[in-house]
Amino acid sequence: MKSLPDWTQKVRAWREKYEAMIAPEWRGSLEKQIIVFEFDPKMTATAGQYRGHLTHSIKLSPWMQEREAEETFAHEYAHFCAYLLYGEIEHGFFWRSFMTCFGHTAEVTHRFPLGTRCILVGIDAKLAEAEEKKEAEK
């Protein structure tokens, strides 16, 4: 497992990288937002989590290879963009569009060592619950 400062630098670099892929007219409102990033060692079954409304946070599991961690970051960052710009909280049209824009496959889970790719919490508890249920039924 990499040390925390190392991940912190990577997360900063990933945010800059994906931010640069967004059209300038949208970038302005995204880059001034504070996103709290955290690598949570307790996350052993879920790769990532986005929580957003008045504040935004992205939690990632540290139990991943760097490439998987970056892909998961992109996944959660796409949630942030889709929510902030379009109010979308699911793995819907805008989230998929951002994933494509970032050069990643817009799959919620796929060939992934950790059981769940992502959980959405705190945006609207009921909708997030519905989303999780929908995912579980797939």
The size of the interface with Zn ion (CB under 5 A), counted in residues, is 1
Q: Shortest Cβ distance from residue 76 to Zn ion (Å)? A: 7
- Do 26 and 85 form a contact (C-beta atoms < 8 A)? yes
Decide whether 4 or 47 has the Cβ nearer to Zn ion.
Answer: 47
Q: Shortest Cβ distance from residue 3 to Zn ion (Å)? A: 27
How big is the chain by its Cα radius of gyration, in Å?
14
Within 10 angstroms of residue 87's Cβ, the number of other Cβ atoms is 9
Which of positions 66-125 make contact with Zn ion (CB under 5 A)? 118
- Are β-strands 46-52 and 56-60 bridged in parallel, bridged antiparallel, or unpaired? antiparallel
Q: Shortest Cβ distance from residue 79 to Zn ion (Å)? A: 5
Residue count (the chain)? 138
User: Which residues lie near Zn ion (CB under 5 A)?
Assistant: 118
